Structure 1
C-alpha cells in the first residue's frame, strides 16, 4: 500500500457535504454514448473529477455519464428493481452479489487484475476539533458519555465496514468472540444516531450530533479539503475497505472503457486526491486534508481484511448481519443492535 501519496486538490466547500443524489431514470445500456453509474453515497464527489478526466480522453470523448448515488444497500436494491445501470460501484461485495443472483451482473465480475475492486480506504474515527474527549482508541468508544454516530447497516455498506472494524478490534487485541460481543453491547449503548448512509452520517456529525463519527478515511479527508473543521484519528486497529465495481450484462463498450480508466494510474491518482488509498502506485505526491499530507495513508498497527479475518463476505454478511428473514439466522451484530434498541 502506498505511503507517499501527494495531491493538491481544489474542491467546492459545499460539494463534499451536499446530498444531491443525482439520480437518473433516463438512458440505457443500449446507448453507446451514455453510461449510467450507480454508486454509494460517499463516492459522488470523487467521481466528479474522474468523470471529467475520462471525458478528456479519446475513449471518453462525447460520452455522457449520469450518476445516481445513495446508501449502498438501497442502491443495489434499486438496480435489482429496475433502475438503469451500466456500472455499479458499491460499498461492499454483497451488494454486487445481489445483482449477480438476479442475473444482472456476470458471475465472473471479479475475474480481473483488481479482483473487482475500484476504490479502497480504511475506517477512521472523526472527532470534534481538538478532540475534546481524547478519543484515540476503540476502548474509548465504549466509555460512558461518548456519543457515536455510524450509519445504519440495514441500508449502508459503510456501516457494515465500521461495525466489523469495531468488533475486529477486540480480536486484533487478543480477545475472544465472546469478548468482542460484550464490547459491541457497550458500543451500541453509546450510539446516538444511525443515519441511512455514510454521507448522511457525516452531515449529522458536522451538524452537532455525537462525539465521534465512524467513517471512511477518504470521507474525512475530503470533508477537511472542503473546509470542514474537525479532526480524525487512525486507530491502532482498522479494516481495509474495498469497494467493488461491476458492469451489468448489457453495458456498452464505453462503460468498459470508463471502468478501465477508473482502475488506471490516472484514475487512481484522482481518487487519491479525494482521500482514497490507491490500488496502484500513483507517484510521490501529497494529499491535502490528510493528517500528514506527505504521508497521507499510514498503515495502522493492525489492518484487518474481510477475507483473512472474517472469512470473506460470503460468510461474514450472514454471520454478522443476517436479518433473520426467510429462515436465515439473525446475525451476531444485528442481534446485539436490536437488543440495544439502537
Structure 2
C-alpha cells in the first residue's frame, strides 16, 4: 500500500509537471502567435517620408490626413508621415545628399531631374498623370492694398524707387520661375517690336528689374513672409501664394502681367529610398492620390491651378489666362534654360555680376 501510494503521488506529481509544461508551451505558442501578429501589423503600418518644396506646405498638410484615411480604409493599416519643407533646390539637394524621402514634391522639373541624375528617381517619372505634374500656377506681381504704386506689368518694376522682392534662384525653384517669367517677358517684348526674340534685350530687361530688388530670400515662402512683414512695395511670386493669403483676409492685390510664364510643379516617387524602406506601394498610391479630384480641389483651394481638367473647369473663373502666357518651351525647354540662364556664365549670373 505504501509503495502504491508513493507511486500514486509520484504519478500525480509527474502529471502535474506535464500539465504545467504543456500550459507553458501553450502560452508560449500563443505568445509567439501574438508577436507574429504584432510584427505583421508593425510591418504593415508605416511612415511615409515626404520631402516637399515650401510653397506647397499648406495644401500638402491638408491632403495627408485624407490620404491616410483612404489608405486605412483600403488596406486596414495605419500610415503616418514625416514631413520636410524647404526651398525646392535646397530640398532636391538634401534628397540627393542622403535625406531619404519616399516621395518628393518640387517646384520644377529640373529639380526632379537632379534626382534622376543621382540615380534616386527613375527617368520614367514623367509618365504618371500630366507629365508628372500635380499642380500649375503662373508668375504674378503682388502689391499692397489698392496697388498704391500703380503696377500693371513687369515693365513697371523697372521704375525708379520701386522696391521689388523675389527669392534667390540658386536655392529656390520658385525664384527660377520668377526669373524665367521676367526674362521671357523681355523676349516677348522684343519679339513684338522687332519680329524676333532678342536675348540681349531680354537680359537688359531682367537687369533693370533686378536693380530694384530689395532682397533675395532663400525660398518663395521666405520671400512671401518678408513681404508680409512690410518689406518691399511689390513681390514677384506664384499666383497661389497670393490667392491663398487673400482668401484668409490679407489685403493684397494680384497683378497678372500680360506676358508671364505657366508654372508646372511635379511630384515623384523617390524610387531608391521607397524600395529601401519597403514603402513603394504607399508612395505610388500617394502620388496618384495627388491627381484625384479630391486632392486637386484642395490644391485649388490653396490657389494652385488644378491639372485635373474637370476640377480646373469648376474653378477657372478664379484663374484668368493672360494674353501672352507662355510655358517653358518658349524659352527652349529646361535644358536650354539651365545653360542659358543658370550656368556659371549664364544670363542670371551676368546680371548679378553687373556684366
2:52 counterpart of 1:36: no
Aligned to 2:311: 282
**More displaced 10-residue stretch of structure 1: 125-134 or 249-258:** 249-258
CA distance in 1, matches of 2:353, 2:210: 9
Aligned to 1:297: 319
- The alpha carbon displacement at 1:152 in A equals 0.3
Aligned to 2:103: 87
Aligned to 2:87: 71
CA distance in 2, matches of 1:47, 1:149: 25
2:220 counterpart of 1:192: no
Deviations 1:215-235 (A, max 9, x none): 111111111122322111111
2:73 counterpart of 1:47: no
TM-score, length of structure 1 as denominator length: 0.83
Q: 1:212 aligns with which of 234, 237, 247?
A: 234
Aligned to 1:236: 258
CA distance in 1, matches of 2:250, 2:52: 23
2:260 counterpart of 1:247: no
Aligned to 1:19: none
2:297 counterpart of 1:269: yes
Where structure 2 has 5 or more consecutive residues not aligned to the other structure, the ranges are: 1-42
CA distance in 1, matches of 2:95, 2:167: 21
Aligned to 1:8: none
Q: Which one has the largest radius of gyration?
A: 2
CA distance in 2, matches of 1:222, 1:275: 5
CA distance in 2, matches of 1:338, 1:85: 36
CA distance in 1, matches of 2:45, 2:103: 13
* 1:306/1:313 contact within 8 Å kept: yes
Aligned to 2:148: 132
Aligned to 1:332: 347
- The alpha carbon displacement at 1:318 in A equals 2.0
* 1:105/1:248 contact within 8 Å kept: yes
Alpha-carbon RMSD across the aligned residues, in angstroms, is 1.8
- The alpha carbon displacement at 1:338 in A equals 2.6
2:279 counterpart of 1:257: no
Aligned to 2:336: 315
Q: Residue 127 of structure 1 aligns to a residue in which SS?
A: strand
Where do residues 146-225 of structure 1 align in structure 2 (5 Å cutoff)?
A: 146-173=162-189, 174=191, 176-225=198-247
CA distance in 2, matches of 1:110, 1:84: 21
Where structure 1 has 5 or more consecutive residues not aligned to the other structure, the ranges are: 1-29, 287-293, 325-329
2:130 counterpart of 1:114: yes
* 1:32/1:254 contact within 8 Å kept: no
Q: Residue 232 of structure 1 aligns to a residue in which SS?
A: strand
Q: Residue 37 of structure 1 aligns to a residue in which SS?
A: strand
| Residue 59 to residue 227, structure 1, CA distance change in 2 (3 Å) | farther
CA distance in 1, matches of 2:257, 2:125: 33
CA distance in 2, matches of 1:59, 1:274: 27
- The alpha carbon displacement at 1:303 in A equals 1.0
User: Higher helix fraction: Structure 1 or Structure 2?
Assistant: 2
Q: Residue 104 of structure 2 aligns to a residue in which SS?
A: strand
CA distance in 2, matches of 1:270, 1:303: 24
* Structure of greater relative contact order (alpha carbons < 8 Å, 6+ residues apart): 1
Aligned to 1:62: 78
